[in-house]
Structure 1
Amino acid sequence: MTISTTISVTISASLLATASSAIFGDIGRDEARRRAFEELVRPEYQQESLLERLVRIVREFFGGLLDQAPGGVPGGLLALAVIVVLIAALIGLIAWQARKATGGRRAAEGLFGTRERTADEHRQEAGRLAGESRWAEAIRERLRAIARDLEHRAIVAPQPGRTADELAEAAGAELPAFAGRLAGAARLFDDVTYGQRPGSPEDYGTMTALDEDLRAARPAALAGRAHAAPPGTAAP
């Protein structure tokens, strides 16, 4: 369990305890907090997202207490609504902080991370990682190979801190026939780097095919000049 998740679970347990204490006079705050925390960290919920877990817990926790309460609970629905709103606000804050941290990490590392390698070195590393079925890492290295190769061929200008999306935009402008595939490659890079997507052999194959096709591609402006050159005249 991550630090942010632990904090959110603890705060959520306190909020649930407050609401249950207000609704049910015979349940002390400490006992309510203990029950709520135990419910929040049950193993069967660990594969769910934080939002899914909290929604489920709120529903089941208060549903069980309401079933146990004799004669109904005046004001119970209002208290439940208030606590759900508070938990939703907490989740929103955590999500905003996570996005902010991710954005800062992207800006600091850029596409290439902290190591300088040539395109061929990135390809070799990608092949090694793919051989070990480390697909997410292999996909990252293959897009880095694409970026280095495009820079080496002066199709895009070197840019420190460039992101995958910025690479796709710059390269797509010079190679419009590849714009859609480059944008898809950038999304895949972001998904396996920041979105916890594990990657797959198919994803790696897609990135590898793009790399190979791009190596034979020519910028639109240069291709147009070659097409317009008189017969027997080499394009500059």
Structure 2
Amino acid sequence: MAAEPPVLPGSEEARRWAQEELAKAEYRDAAPGWLDSVWADILDWLRSLDGGPGPGTSVAAAWIGVAIAVLIGAAIILARPRLNAKAKRAGEVFDADPTVGAAAYRGRAAAAAAAGDWSAAVVDCFRALVRTAEDRNVLDARPGRTADEVAHELALPFSVAALRLAAAARTFDGIRYGNETA
């Protein structure tokens, strides 16, 4: 069998052959995806921070640690509002009408209890407690006060009942602003 002579194409023909060969599907499928390219760019950037000349140098562990810490911090900051979506802040003790007196709140609480609406009864009982303390000048009448503030302020003159006041404030908040029932 006679051997064929070697192929010696010109530079233009060799370039065209190389382009045709590299255009085949097996070469396109072997190319890195966009995520691989982004990851490689990040690693190249980190290597450049190390002061090395190129991809052959090692990346300083401290820079990788800083990058990971920044990513974790960003994830926590972005995820925190979603995690706390169900946790509502404590609101005001009273609704918009500041003229309702302690007796009216006690009456509403009794009516709610008689109807079996224990949650409304607990809320109105706590409001009656606060309004009574305001009427007797134990508390200043102040709009916007929270149940926790009431418990803290009433614990000063009534230190014996401080734990029960705090529990009542938590119960009020849980029923009024949370998902608890009485």
Normalised by the length of structure 2, the TM-score is 0.53
Alpha carbons of 1:194 and 1:91: their partners in 2 closer, same or farther (altered >3 Å)? farther
How do 1:34-53 and structure 2 match up within 5 A? Answer: none
Matched, 1:129 2:112: yes
In structure 2, distance between residues paired with 1:174 and 1:196: 31
1:112 corresponds, among 74, 80, 94, to 94
Deviation of 1:177 after TM superposition, in Å, equals: 1.2
AA aligned to 1:191 is G
Matched, 1:151 2:134: yes
Instruction: Name the SS for the 2:84 alignment partner.
Output: helix
- Per-residue CA distance 1:195-217 (angstroms, 9 max, x = gap): 21111xxxxxxxxxxxxxxxxxx
In structure 2, distance between residues paired with 1:135 and 1:147: 18
What residue in structure 1 maps to residue 147 of structure 2?
164
Instruction: Name the SS for the 1:138 alignment partner.
Output: helix
What residue in structure 1 maps to residue 161 of structure 2?
178
AA aligned to 2:133 is L
Instruction: Name the SS for the 1:174 alignment partner.
Output: coil
Gaps of 5+ in 2: 1-71
How do 1:187-226 and structure 2 match up within 5 A? Answer: 187-199=170-182
In structure 2, distance between residues paired with 1:179 and 1:169: 8
Gaps of 5+ in 1: 1-84, 200-236
In structure 1, distance between residues paired with 2:146 and 2:81: 25
What residue in structure 2 maps to residue 96 of structure 1?
84
Moved over 3 A (4+): 88-93
In structure 1, distance between residues paired with 2:163 and 2:156: 11
AA aligned to 1:177 is V
Over aligned residue pairs, what C-alpha RMSD do you find?
Answer: 2.2
AA aligned to 2:105 is H
In structure 1, distance between residues paired with 2:144 and 2:151: 14
Deviation of 1:98 after TM superposition, in Å, equals: 4.0
- Per-residue CA distance 1:58-96 (angstroms, 9 max, x = gap): xxxxxxxxxxxxxxxxxxxxxxxxxxx9xx978743233
Instruction: Name the SS for the 2:156 alignment partner.
Output: helix
In structure 2, distance between residues paired with 1:91 and 1:127: 43
Tell me the number of residue pairs that the alignment of Structure 1 and Structure 2 aligns: 107
In structure 2, distance between residues paired with 1:138 and 1:183: 18
What residue in structure 2 maps to residue 14 of structure 1?
none
Percent of aligned positions with the same letter in both sequences? Answer: 31
In structure 2, distance between residues paired with 1:184 and 1:93: 27
Higher share of residues assigned helix: 1
